[in-house]
A and B are shown apart, each in its own frame.
Chain A
């Protein structure tokens, strides 16, 4: 107790500096968000003339218009479905694989892991055509399942990399304990590894959720039917070939940003909790 007070009082001045630093960075982060919201409340004519952050007239019905014209209802649900499916898929598949790479023994382990890592480093721009032809042959092209599987692949390498690195750092006492108690490998994965890796899992969730939520190129190319399209495709429609309806575009983007912010708000709590539970070291 005494130590913490000592720690605090000595540094009130430094505390102030730190706060200033944090606030100034925070302002630069907030400004674009504020601009986006304020632009969504203006009209096409005033958006580049009126430079104030709070517009004179609040055109709230831009949001209603954006929702209706963009047909957001269906696309919103689609995006949520894809994001949830892909995130859950990746969490399960990647953590299983990362656990195996970190703790289990089998021939070819290193080679396979290096292949995954290499995949992270060798992007394939222009792989859309290849994926299209492939999914076509598998009869998965115009289906949600095909899209979800392809998107799981996109984030797989990174997630396995992050999880394995984290698992490598974890002390093995709990696992040894669980094994002595008769837990199977799968049980260890479910009862020990997953709960303890909440911070990294949270990062994996956020990263992949963001990637899937913002994706539109692959969706546009492999989906023919309108009803499978995710939200970002609908937003692109506001960027016409010649005319861009900026206020509606901003309204649409604001609506689209909300779920991801919510996901982050929920997940960042787990990053806080960390591995400081007494159970590990007690």
Chain B
């Protein structure tokens, strides 16, 4: 009876595991193996040259552009974790209340993720770029009498990355908003009533009811944010055309550049594996931290 029950349980996960094994594990092994070879992606696989850990050593010690890309991705992710998610949370809070036009806002805030990245890149370039666009932000600043704040947002190497990060956050907050809202909606209203009856004001009920129940949601969103943002790259191409002398390099762009320009498929695979390893470590740290926060 127990065996039958356990076998039944396996049936539940069979389709998922089957698809996963075929479509993820096998390509993963393919790519993983290639990290130890020097291959140009063209000659038949059997002619690839095995180089052991040479690729990985090169990534660790001889590839400053890779680490610059990682730092840049880290910066964008930091801004996403703070600015993007804070914005999403505040908006979700605002929409959770019984205010008018709630539905309207819910739809509007999801438009950025829906728009194709081509459009987002083009429009934002138009808005903030002063060469081929109207640079409306600078014009606005000047009209408000603050010309000293005007800047060449996308063309100044010092702030190009931050500008890209902010546009990326603009595009991404819709997701956090959605998930936060789902989480907020799941908090039973009775708990708020109970808190009010106990004499708590808005801030106290926020601290004692909302936050504790939202912590799992916040953790999920944080992990997903990190994973998604570290891998971002299409928007960067749309906004600044590429790596901007390394200032807006990100890991995926680097991997694609290596694959395309130098045809070192094996090295690109090694970069991909290293990238994955770093993401796993970051997520693991996040998870550990979240366990502590929950306790």
Chain A residues engaging chain B, CB cutoff 8 angstroms: 3-4, 7, 11, 15, 18-19, 21-22, 25-26, 28-33, 35-36, 48, 51, 92-94, 96-97, 99-101, 104-107, 112, 115-127, 129-131, 133-134, 138, 149-150, 152-153, 156-158, 160-162, 165, 169, 185, 189, 199-200, 202-203, 206-207, 210, 214, 235, 239, 249-250, 253, 256-257, 260-261, 264-265, 268, 271-276, 281
Contacts and interface: CB of A to CB of B under 8 A. Distances in A.
B106 A268 contact: yes
Contacts of A29: 108-109, 111-112, 170
Contacts of A235: 116
Contacts of A200: 182
B9 A106 contact: yes
Contact of B116 (A105, A112, A165, A256): A256
A101 B185 contact: no
Given A29-B109, A138-B22, 15 more contacts: A22-B95, A22-B105, A25-B87, A26-B105, A29-B170, A33-B111, A35-B123, A92-B15, A121-B280, A124-B28, A129-B41, A134-B27, A153-B20, A265-B107, A271-B178
Nearest to B280: A121
A124 B123 contact: no
8 contacts: A29-B109, A36-B123, A122-B273, A122-B277, A134-B30, A239-B118, A257-B116, A274-B185
Contact of B113 (A97, A122, A210): A210
Nearest to A246: B122
A203 B178 contact: yes
Contacts of A260: 114
Contact of A99 (B12, B259, B276): B12
How would you classify the secondary structure of chain A's contact residues: helix, strand, loop or mixed? Answer: helix
A275 B186 contact: yes
Interface string B135-177: 0000000000000000000000000000000000010000100
Interface string B92-113: 0011001100011111111111
B73 interface: no
Contacts of A150: 23
A225 to B, nearest CB: 21
Interface stretch (B47-55, B241-249, B264-272): B264-272
* Main SS at interface, chain B: helix
A158 B111 contact: no
A152 B107 CA distance: 26
A272 B185 CA distance: 7
Interface in B21-36: 22-24, 26-28, 30-31
A94 B12 CA distance: 9
B13 A32 contact: no
B185 A271 contact: yes
B283 interface: yes
Interface in B186-207: 186, 188-190, 193, 196, 202
B181 interface: yes
Nearest to B271: A125
A105 B6 contact: yes
Which of B105, B132, B277 lies at the interface centre, i.e. has the most chain A CB atoms within 10 A of its CB?
A: B105
A4 B98 CA distance: 10
Nearest to A101: B13
Given A21-B94, A121-B279, A275-B186, A203 B179 contact: yes
